[in-house]
Amino acid sequence: MKVKTILVSQPAPKTETSPYFDLSEKQKVKIDFRSFIHVEGIPVKDIRAQKIDLSKFTAIILTSRNAVDHFFRVAEEMRFSVPDAMKYFCQSEAVAYYLQKYVVYRKRKIYVGKRTFPELTKLIKKHKEEKFLLPSSDKLKPLIPEELDSIGINWKRADFYRTVMSDLSDLENVFYDVLVFFSPSGIDSLYKNFPDFQQNNTRIAAFGATTIKAVEDAGLTCNVIAPTPEMPSMTMALERYLKEVNKK
């Protein structure tokens, strides 16, 4: 069956140069965006209950832009002035670049991983004298604490924000040919909002091994998979799929 409509379970891109817009134009398909999940900050009183004293840490491990936002939110609400000597270990260049929203980049000690957490761990290992704080979501990949424990550093995790399922009730009678997911939480939100969801002719695209597993565990068929060596991005995988099904 041909594909005419796609729903991407993420916020709409903020730039006009997004590859999704190119894909929509080239393949003549309608692409909508809607967050199936969103992030909420955990109140400071709940963070204090985790026995977190920001003054006890000399380095911060930042795995996402959400982690950056909520670390500085909590610091402000706790009336903690982040010292200039604080070290920041960022999982990717994108996270490090986002840090400039809060600090003068060239005046801070910022260490940047290539992309994956194990790559960042190699940098962290070189600074074993530091006391590390990992501000995280309530849903954290097991790989991260496993990696940090394996290198024998002084570190502590604190939940600064949580992943919440969005209300999608307005989509109840709206149907798309393809649904695109990027996390297991997106699948959870689908069934929380639509407990009787049946895949039928809906195609499902999933990014990442944990998302693909969540799709399969839910008894659904995964029609489009990324990343792969040939298709490192979701838009590339979608484009190849569209060329196959829409040429008929």
Q: Given this model, what pLDDT does residue 248 score?
A: 61
Query: How would residue 140 be classed by pLDDT, with cut points 50, 70 and 90?
Result: confident
Q: Model confidence over 75-133: pLDDT tens digits? A: 999 999 999 999 999 999 999 999 999 988 777 899 998 878 999 999 999 999 999 99
Give the per-residue pLDDT at 141: 84
Q: Which domains are present in the chain?
A: 5-36+169-246 (3.40.50.10090), 40-163 (3.40.50.10090)
Compute CA distances 231 → 24, 73, 98, 203, 241, whole Å: 18, 37, 27, 18, 11
* Cα 5 from chain centroid (whole Å): 24
Pair 8, 224: CB distance under 8 Å: no
* Averaged pLDDT for residues 179-190: 95
Residue 235 C-beta-side C-alpha neighbours within 13 Å: 14
Q: 180 in helix, strand or coil?
A: strand
Contact 124, 61 (CB under 8 A): yes
pLDDT value, residue 199: 95
pLDDT at residue 247, as a whole number: 84
Cis peptide preceding 227, ω within 30 of 0: yes
pLDDT the model gives residue 238: 98
Mean pLDDT of 155-163: 96
pLDDT computed for residue 150 by the predictor: 95
Contact between residue 222 and residue 215 where contact means Cβ atoms under 8 Å apart: yes
Per cent of the chain over pLDDT 90 is 89
Residue 206: the pLDDT is 97
pLDDT over 90 (residue 169): yes
Q: In this predicted structure, what is the pLDDT of residue 15? A: 84
The reported pLDDT for the residue numbered 104 is 82
* In contact, 109 and 87? CB cutoff 8 Å: yes
For residues 155 and 148, what is the distance between their CA atoms, to the nearest angstrom? 8
pTM beyond 0.85: the answer is no
Mean pLDDT of the chain: 94
The answer to whether residue 242 scores a pLDDT higher than 70 is yes
Q: What are phi and psi of 173, to 5 degrees?
A: -110, 25
% of the chain with per-residue pLDDT over 70: 100
pLDDT at 115: 76
Q: Where are the alpha helices (DSSP H) in 100-162?
A: 117-124, 143-150
pLDDT in tens, 24-50: 999 999 999 999 999 999 999 999 999
Phi, psi of 226 (to 5 degrees): -150, 155
* Range with lowest mean pLDDT among 13-17, 60-64, 237-241: 13-17
